[in-house]
Amino acid sequence: MNFEQARFNMIEQQIRPWEVLDGEVLALLSVVKRENFVPAGLKAMAFVDMELPLREGGARGQAMLAPRLEARLLQDLAVQSHERVLEIGTGSGYMAALLAHRAAHVLSLEIDAQLAAQARKILAQEGISNVDVRQADGVAGAAADGPFDVIVLSGSVAEVPQALLTQLKVGGRLAAIVGDEPMMRATLVTRNSETAWTTAEPWDTVAPRLVSFAEHSHFSF
């Protein structure tokens, strides 16, 4: 398989049409080898416009996000070289790798010990040294390591826990995919002061759930 041609096609046919036009983001997608983060049996599908299961059978529903989602989140967050990032849901480590190329440091939390170990191994093989992958439940974040300039939830949630919002620095940004199927919204939260946040919902999508985050109650009376 010609990975470079497939990568070019992914960028030009999937990512640019999804309004990802930031030249630095597009260049980064050309540099970070997505195929190296995909499970071995799925390398031929590394550039397909879909989620990919991280283990056979899609263990616990965990999957790599579609490339266009990762690219759009990266563009919307506009991560700067001095910033510290918290990622919830390491998965394959691909999004952590993209973030690492733009940030000073990335702390990535993964609830599944096997996935965390695999991501550490791949990131080391790729020579990425400014990512700390930690096996942990990301619902509570990592307050002891914060506050953070950027927080990214690499999967969907019913709602963003307040505990994560309070771990943003003033001026910091959080990105998550929020809601329920069949329609979810990309949600970008900016902390304006110690007590105030603003929220934007710039685009619609659907993404797999992050493990252990609370769902909405569906009581009927």
Per-residue pLDDT tens, the chain, 221 aa: give them: 899 999 999 999 999 999 999 999 999 999 999 999 998 888 999 999 999 988 754 445 588 999 999 999 999 999 999 999 999 999 999 999 999 999 999 999 999 999 999 999 999 999 999 999 999 999 999 999 999 999 999 999 999 999 999 999 999 999 999 999 888 999 999 999 999 999 999 999 999 889 888 886 544 33
Tokens 């990975």 locate to 3
pTM of the predicted model as reported, rounded to 2 decimal places: 0.93
The per-residue pLDDT for 217 is: 54
Give the other-Cβ count within 10 Å of 109's Cβ: 23
Helix (H, G, I), strand (E, B) or coil at 38: coil
User: Where along the chain do its domains lie?
Assistant: 3-205
Asked if residues 98 and 127 have their Cβ atoms less than 8 Å apart, the reply is no
Domain 3-205 is found in CATH 3.40.50.1220? no
Asked if residues 198 and 220 have their Cβ atoms less than 8 Å apart, the reply is no
The per-residue pLDDT for 61 is: 58
Opening angle at CA 102, ends 97 and 107, nearest 5: 55
CA 167 to chain centre: 17
Q: Sign of the C-alpha dihedral, residues 52, 55, 57, 61?
A: negative
What DSSP string runs through 85-138?
EEEE--TTSHHHHHHHHHSSEEEEEES-HHHHHHHHHHHHHTT--SEEEEES-G
DSSP H or E run through 30: helix 23-31
Helix (H, G, I), strand (E, B) or coil at 1: coil
